[in-house]
Amino acid sequence: MKNQLTIGLFGFGCVGTGLYEVLNKTTLLQASIKHIVIKDLSKKRIIDSSYFSTDSNRILQDDEINVVVELINDSEAAYEIVTTALRAGKHVVSANKKLIAYHLNELVSLAKENNVSFLYEASVGGSIPIIRNLEEYYNNDSLSNISGIVNGTTNYILTKTAEGESFDEALKNAQDLGFAELDPTSDVDGFDAKYKLVLLLKHAFGFTTKQDAVWNYGIRQLKDWDARYAREKGLKIKLLAFGTRINNQIVGFVAPHIIPNNHFAFNVENEFNAVVVEALFSDKQLFLGKGAGSHPTASAVLSDISALQFDYAYEYKKSKTEEHLSFDSDYSLKVYLSATSQEKLDQITFIETHETYTGQSHSYKIGIISYEEISKQDWNNAPDYFLAVIPDSIQLTKNTDISTEKSAHLIEELS
């Protein structure tokens, strides 16, 4: 039997407004918004002002409200809202990936203790139903890899730089279109994608990692010559979140990748997201959809609300094997590394060198580098460098490489 859902909504920005609109267009959902808490009562809204207040207790202490939907940007304020709601026995739907990445185990425990659901499909991939599929379709431990474009802002910027715009021009256009914030740090330095990767690792492999353990490097330092190099070689640069399981080891990071035209992400452009899941039996499967925007993200929130009609909750079945897994940082990668001078380039130690170039404006090197060497540098704040990973090239120091054949193919592409 369907449950009647009475919703208290925190936040009425892009996604909150979209949720109100899609909720009122669906006829299959027994749910209604009773009250909305916002910061600024002076803004004009598309619905009557009687819905709104700035008092969170209007929702959190209302016994009629059995679902709290949290759609605000402030992760600290969201923490107080979500934990209070869970303790009050209310189901919670959230899109706040930073909040969840920092407090995942605590929030999951709180939900279980209070016999309610905590759902967050909209926190990863916008309209892509990736978390539910990892929970339900891939509900065993046969997954080996998960990777993808999970940030629409950086993908839009990289689409435009591939077309010849400078990074600064592309970022300004993204801000004008509402894809990027005035302070784009979380997006362009890869933090947003890292928070999402933490959640993907949990649902793909049952592994909880502290977000500080995951290396994130974004696209802030992309230079015109790097984008030109990729264009001339028929390649593209994409910011990918990557996770893999090798035996009982988990490797995960966020970094720019330089990819050939047969890579799944090659034709994923603008604000679109794409995630590929690779499993022992089903091989590779691609999930593609809009990763940003009012209605696409609201559709994922609506999906969670709809699931609550039937008391749906994540079961985290794969987490039962978590005690046998560990996060590995003892590996090497094949990379393209450019620098503003040969002297700067020579300061980075490579295990192997496959190609070098020295010019007046910049130099670059393609070869193998250890994560230990990578971790010595704060790449997001290193304007003299730009690094891009060559996919399918991870080698665990203690084991064999993941895909020698694929790596060899890409060396040919880059030569």
Per-position pLDDT tens, the chain of length 415: 478 899 999 999 989 999 999 998 887 788 999 999 999 998 888 898 999 999 999 999 999 999 999 999 999 999 999 999 999 999 999 999 999 999 999 999 999 999 999 999 999 998 899 999 999 988 766 899 999 999 999 999 999 999 999 999 999 998 888 788 889 999 999 999 999 999 999 999 999 998 889 999 999 999 999 999 999 999 999 999 999 998 889 999 999 999 999 999 999 999 999 999 998 888 899 999 988 778 888 999 999 999 999 999 999 988 876 668 999 999 999 999 999 999 999 999 999 999 999 999 999 999 999 999 999 999 999 999 999 999 988 898 865 444 433 444 443 444 4
Instruction: Report the DSSP pairing between strands 31-37 and 52-53.
Output: parallel
What is the per-residue pLDDT for 276?
Answer: 97
Considering the chain, tell me which residue range(s) the CATH 3.40.50.720 domain(s) occupy: 5-119
Q: What is the 3-state secondary structure (H, E, C) of 22-76?
A: HHCCCCCCCEEEEEEECCCCCCCCCCCHHHEECCCHHHHCCCCCCEEEECCCCHH
Distances (CA, A) of 124 to 37, 98, 151, 295, 393: 24, 11, 9, 15, 25
What is the per-residue pLDDT for 193?
Answer: 97
Residues 6+ apart with CB under 8 A from 232: none
What is the per-residue pLDDT for 411?
Answer: 37
Nearest by Cα to 392 from 379, 375, 406? 406
Residue 126 backbone zone (phi > 0: left; psi -120 to 50: alpha; other: beta): left
The CATH superfamily label for domain 132-290+324-414 reads: Dihydrodipicolinate Reductase; domain 2 (3.30.360.10)
Beta bridge partners of 244: 145, 251
What is the per-residue pLDDT for 414?
Answer: 46
Residue 339: φ, ψ to 5°: -145, 160
CATH class given for the domain over 5-119: alpha beta
What is the per-residue pLDDT for 125?
Answer: 92
Of 196, 202, 223, 290, the catalytic one is 196
Q: Is residue 112 annotated as part of the catalytic site, yes or no?
A: no
DSSP symbols for 280-320? TTTEEEEEEEE-SSHHHHHHHHHHHHHHHTTT-----GGGG
Considering the chain, tell me which residue range(s) the CATH 3.30.360.10 domain(s) occupy: 132-290+324-414
User: What length is written for the chain?
Assistant: 415
